[in-house]
A and B are shown apart, each in its own frame.
Chain A
Amino acid sequence: QLQLVQSGTEVKKPGASVKVSCKTSGFTFTSYYIHWVRQAPGQGLEWMGMINPGGGSPTFAQKFQGKVTMTRDTSTSTVYMELSSLTYEDTTVYYCVLGGIAPGGWFDPWGQGTLVTVSS
C-alpha cells in the first residue's frame, strides 16, 4: 500500500525556517519523484517543486527558487522540505505527493498535509 505520512503542525515566527518531513512506504523509494504542493487557506493548489530520491538535484518552481530546499534520506525513505525566511504568506498547508518515474504524469497518493502557521 502506497503511503506518505507527513510531520505535524508547525507554528513559526516570521523570518524563521521550517522543515517538513514526508515518510514514504509501499514502493521503491529511489524510483519515483516526490513532489511538494501547497494550499493557502481557502485557496487553490500550487506546485512547489520535486525531488528524485534516486539522485540528482531537485527542481523548483521559479517562485520558490532560493526559498525552498528539498532533501532525502534513503535509509528511512523520507523526504524533507525546508522553507526559509518565512513570511505570513507562507501560512499554508503543505502536501507531499508521489509522482512518476519521470517528470510528467500525475500525483497519487497525497500525504495528509502539514499546516504551517507563521505568526508573531
Chain B
Amino acid sequence: QSALTQPASVSGSPGQSITISCTGTSSDVGGYNYVSWYQQHPGKAPKLMIYDVSNRPSGVSNRFSGSKSGYTASLTISGLQAEDEADYYCTSYTISTTLYVFGTGTKVTVL
C-alpha cells in the first residue's frame, strides 16, 4: 500500500489562504469518505484537524476546512497565522489489508 501523495511544502503569508492536496487511488481516498487531517508541531503528537473529509472537531478553528474530489482530498487553511506553521498529514481508510494509509506529509511555512 503506497503512501498518499502530498506536496512536500506549502507556504503563504499571514492572512492568506493555502490548500494542501492529498492524492490517492480508488482503493483509499476515492473509495471512502474516511479521510482525516492531522497537524503536528515539532516534537509534539499529531492533532486531529478534520475528519470524514470535511468535518471539524470541536475546538478546531473554522479557518480549517476539508473537501474531496475524486481521488484527491484537500485541506484549506484560510487567514493563515503564525501558529499554523507545522507539518500536516492526511490519512485514509483503505480496501487493503493495511487498513489505513497516511500521506507523505506537508510542511506549511508562514512567511
Contact between chains at A108 and B48 (CB < 8 Å):
yes
Interface size, chain B (Cβ < 8 Å): 26
In the bound complex, what is the Cα–Cα distance between A46 and B104 (angstroms)?
10
Q: Does B71 contact A (CB under 8 A)?
A: no
Number of interface residues of A (CB under 8 A): 23
B51 x A105 contact (CB < 8 A): yes
Is the C-beta of A61 less than 8 angstroms from some C-beta in chain B? yes
Q: CB-CB < 8 A to B51: which residues of A?
A: 105-106, 108
In this complex, which of B51, B89, B100, B103 has the most chain A Cβ atoms within 10 angstroms of its Cβ?
B100
Set of chain A residues within 8 Å of B104, measured between Cβ atoms: 44
**Is B15 part of the binding interface, using a Cβ–Cβ cutoff of 8 Å?**
no
| Among B36, B47, B99, B105, contact of A110 (Cβ-Cβ < 8 Å) | B47
Report the minimal beta-carbon distance from A67 to chain B, rounded to whole angstroms. Answer: 14
Most buried by A among B3, B45, B93: B45
Q: Which residues does A use to contact B, with CB under 8 Å?
A: 35, 37, 44-47, 50, 59, 61-63, 95, 103-113
